[in-house]
Structure 1
Amino acid sequence: MSFKSLGLSEPLLKTIAEQNYTQPYPIQQEAIPAILKGSDVLGIAKTGSGKTAGFVLPILELFQDKPAPKNRTVRALVLVPTRELAVQIGVVFQTFGEKLPRKVKTLAVYGGVSINPQMIALQGVEILVATPGRLIELLSYKALSISETEILVLDEADKMLDLGFADEMKDIFFLLPKKRQSILFSATLGDSVDAINKNLLKNPLRIEIAEEEQNIDQITQTGYFVDPERKGPLLRYLIKTQEMKQVLVFVSATRTADNLVEKLNKNGIQAAAMHSKKSQGARTEALNKFKSGKLTVLVATDLVSRGIDIQFLPYVINFELPRSPKDYVHRIGRTGRAEASGEAISLICPEDVHHFKIIQKKMGKRVTMNESYDLNLQGY
């Protein structure tokens, strides 16, 4: 199937070809025609399945035949859980819309940065990509109107609910017009997401893309039994003795990330943290330095790590285990890509042993475990 067969116009098809998109992903094959027809859509698909272009392309197409809206009236609203995703989707809109006959202004807004430049930039915006908290702030200042919004997109709805945005989302839904097109994408369909689906969508086309199992055969997995007070020294010991030049370290909390980075830097290991409480500029700078090899260690939480895509990352270390086996596989899958080998190391405290056994059982692989108690960590 080609993009042309989905009902997209020549200007969009030209840009698609220039971006080296050869054929649509499965979710795009179903979502694009449905959105062009004005149908509501419920898509269950993981990150990286192609869903962003699945709503970006038809929205840009639909707006080509419409006059510019009234001042500060947002025609399409895309709600997302994180700054990274807001920026990413904003760039996709701008990339595909760059050569269209009628220019459609897109803006991404999010917290962690000054609100005033965003308020000024809202002039003439038709497509707004926003995190819920910052959108409510802007609405409270009457910087924009969503009372005539024609299309609502919820991207990664499950993550927004996990982050506690349920109340903000309800407030936003209340301000939207009853007559509109709604599109909901989520990696999973839990009870909370299903409740939004039933209250928000009208006879939606349901698209469910089965998640392919991630191939982790290229990854060497090892673990170390360690007491909590020796965890930090063990991490530094491994980085230094194995001469690691680029290692992604996963933690569960932002406070842990900051503390870890402080101690790594004090011990001569260049490190930076990447988490939701860092400014957008700090996160972008840290990621760029890490990718270019100017930074040895990037300490990240699961939420923001989805924006980290490095083809030949040699090491991943689980300083703390994730809650689910699926998240564990996603974490270690950051290494061992493109047929390259990679190594994943987990630091296991006594209270983690049972949970790690469950992860291994679900994964279907046994991890080689090492004792760390005989290691001399003095000075690390």
Structure 2
Amino acid sequence: MPFTSLGLSPALSKALADQHFTTPTPIQQAVIPAILNKRDVLGIAKTGSGKTAGYVLPILMNIKHALRTKNRHVKVLVVVPTRELAVQVTEVFQLFGQALPETIKSMAVYGGVSINPQMMSMQGVNILVATPGRLLELVEANAVHLSEIETLVLDEADKMLNLGFKAEMDKIIGLLPTKRQNLLFSATLSKDIENINQILLHDPEVIKITEESSSIDTIKQLAYLVPEEKKGPFLRHLINKHDMKQVLVFAESVFQVDAIVNKLRKNNIDAKAIHSKKSQGARTEALMNFKSGKLRVLVATDLIARGIDISFLPYVINYGLPRSPKDYVHRIGRTGRAEASGEAISLVSTNELHHFEVIQKKMGKVVNLIDSNGMI
């Protein structure tokens, strides 16, 4: 099924072809016609399934019919949990928006940087992609008004609700007009999502794409039994022995991320950290260098990693196991995308063995566990 059959304009179809997108993903096939028809949508699909383009393309189609508006009164609001995701989503809007004959201005706003340039740049914005805290700051400063929002998108709604954004989201929703299109996208269908679905969505089209098992099959999974105190040396051993390039390492805390990076760099392995305590400039530079292959190792927390979208990532390493089996699948799903092979490696301490068994049971796959004793 080509994109043209989904109701997209020739200009957008050509832009897709220029970017070598020829066939829509399952989530795109389902959500694009629904959004074009102004339906509310609850879309559940794994990260990397094409959700962003799935809502960006029909929103661009719909907004071009309603571009006339008061200054600083945006028409489309996309709320996301992290700065990285805000930038990533805005890049997709800008990439396809420039293909249209109409001028559509989209912009990302987020904390951690000066608010003044963002306030000045709000002139003429049609589509705003925002993190909740900075959005409320801009509203309080009268830099943006939400009374004419026609479409609201909550992207990565599962993480936003789990991370304690509820109070801010309640304030934001209270500022929006009652009559609007609501689009919720999430990697998982949790109780939080079901609750907000009941509050926000009117007769929604519920679209759930379950592809996790097939995508996992393209990923080579390995685990090593490693004492906690030896995980650092063993990580460096793996990277050097296999001459790994573009390695994404997941750690549990900001402190642990920094400690891992410091040890890697002391051992002449080019690595950088990306977490909430880093400046936006440092985070953007690290991510850009990693995506381009200039940076060998990127060490990240789960939250920040939501904004890391790389088509062909060869290695993901779990320095420690995530609390949730779903987060484990999400982590390793960063590799093995677009039917490409990838390798996911977990360093498991004795204390984590039971939890690793639970993860395997939930995932429906057995991962080969190798004793690292004597390997270094």
TM-score (norm 2): 0.89
Contact residue 311 and residue 338 of structure 2 kept, 8 A: no
Aligned letter for 1:60?
A: L
Equivalent runs, 1:177-196 vs 2, <5 Å: 177-196=177-196
Gaps of 5+ in 2: none
Instruction: Give the drift of 1:100.
Output: 1.7
Contact residue 156 and residue 186 of structure 1 kept, 8 A: yes
Contact residue 223 and residue 348 of structure 2 kept, 8 A: no
Aligned residues: 373
Contact residue 106 and residue 126 of structure 2 kept, 8 A: yes
Contact residue 226 and residue 372 of structure 2 kept, 8 A: yes
**Which region of structure 1 is more displaced relative to structure 2, 193-202 or 8-17?**
8-17
Kindly indicate whether residue 354 of structure 2 is the aligned counterpart of residue 354 of structure 1: yes
Aligned to 1:52: 52
Aligned letter for 2:259?
A: N
Aligned letter for 1:259?
A: A
Instruction: Give the drift of 1:68.
Output: 1.9
What is the alpha-carbon distance in structure 1 between the residues aligned to residue 320 and residue 309 of structure 2? 18
Aligned to 2:2: 2
Instruction: Give the drift of 1:35.
Output: 2.1
**Which region of structure 1 is more displaced relative to structure 2, 299-308 or 122-131?**
299-308
What is the alpha-carbon distance in structure 2 between the residues aligned to residue 338 and residue 91 of structure 1? 20
What is the alpha-carbon distance in structure 1 between the residues aligned to residue 291 and residue 224 of structure 2? 25
Give 3-state SS (helix, strand or coil) of 2:137's partner: helix
1:11–1:343 CA distance, 2 compared to 1 (3 A): closer
Give 3-state SS (helix, strand or coil) of 1:20's partner: coil
Aligned to 1:118: 118
Equivalent runs, 1:217-236 vs 2, <5 Å: 219=220, 221-226=222-227, 228-236=228-236
Instruction: Give the drift of 1:132.
Output: 0.9
Measured on the aligned residues, the alpha-carbon RMSD in Å equals: 2.5
1:193–1:336 CA distance, 2 compared to 1 (3 A): closer
Instruction: Give the drift of 1:94.
Output: 1.2
**Which region of structure 1 is more displaced relative to structure 2, 1-10 or 253-262?**
1-10
Equivalent runs, 1:86-105 vs 2, <5 Å: 86-105=86-105
Instruction: Give the drift of 1:298.
Output: 1.6
1:33–1:342 CA distance, 2 compared to 1 (3 A): closer
What is the alpha-carbon distance in structure 1 between the residues aligned to residue 327 and residue 183 of structure 2? 26
Aligned to 1:165: 165
1:106–1:347 CA distance, 2 compared to 1 (3 A): same
Aligned to 1:19: 19
What is the alpha-carbon distance in structure 2 between the residues aligned to residue 360 and residue 55 of structure 1? 33
Aligned to 1:211: 211
Contact residue 312 and residue 338 of structure 1 kept, 8 A: no
Aligned letter for 2:282?
A: A
Aligned to 1:280: 280
Contact residue 291 and residue 310 of structure 1 kept, 8 A: no
Instruction: Give the drift of 1:140.
Output: 1.5
Instruction: Give the drift of 1:223.
Output: 0.5
Equivalent runs, 1:9-158 vs 2, <5 Å: 9-158=9-158
Aligned letter for 2:174?
A: F
Instruction: Give the drift of 1:3.
Output: 2.8
**Which region of structure 1 is more displaced relative to structure 2, 353-362 or 253-262?**
353-362
**Which region of structure 1 is more displaced relative to structure 2, 266-275 or 74-83?**
266-275
* Offset from partner CA, 1:293-335 (integer Å, 9 cap, x none): 543322122233341426262x433211112334334434545
Aligned to 1:302: 302
**Which region of structure 1 is more displaced relative to structure 2, 217-226 or 175-184?**
217-226
What is the alpha-carbon distance in structure 2 between the residues aligned to residue 82 and residue 277 of structure 1? 13
Contact residue 218 and residue 339 of structure 1 kept, 8 A: no
Aligned letter for 1:281?
A: G
- The structure with more radius of gyration: 1
Contact residue 136 and residue 172 of structure 1 kept, 8 A: yes
Give 3-state SS (helix, strand or coil) of 1:281's partner: helix
Contact residue 41 and residue 182 of structure 2 kept, 8 A: yes
Contact residue 271 and residue 295 of structure 1 kept, 8 A: yes
Aligned to 2:260: 260
Instruction: Give the drift of 1:246.
Output: 4.6
Aligned letter for 1:224?
A: L
1:184–1:229 CA distance, 2 compared to 1 (3 A): same
What is the alpha-carbon distance in structure 2 between the residues aligned to residue 88 and residue 103 of structure 1? 20
Contact residue 218 and residue 336 of structure 1 kept, 8 A: yes
Instruction: Give the drift of 1:241.
Output: 5.3
* Offset from partner CA, 1:319-355 (integer Å, 9 cap, x none): 1111233433443454566887755443322321211
Instruction: Give the drift of 1:5.
Output: 3.0
Instruction: Give the drift of 1:26.
Output: 2.7
Contact residue 249 and residue 318 of structure 1 kept, 8 A: yes
Aligned to 1:367: 368
1:167–1:354 CA distance, 2 compared to 1 (3 A): same
1:310–1:126 CA distance, 2 compared to 1 (3 A): closer
1:243–1:152 CA distance, 2 compared to 1 (3 A): closer
What is the alpha-carbon distance in structure 2 between the residues aligned to residue 26 and residue 15 of structure 1? 20
What is the alpha-carbon distance in structure 2 between the residues aligned to residue 325 and residue 72 of structure 1? 42
Give 3-state SS (helix, strand or coil) of 2:71's partner: coil
What is the alpha-carbon distance in structure 2 between the residues aligned to residue 343 and residue 46 of structure 1? 18
Identity %: 60
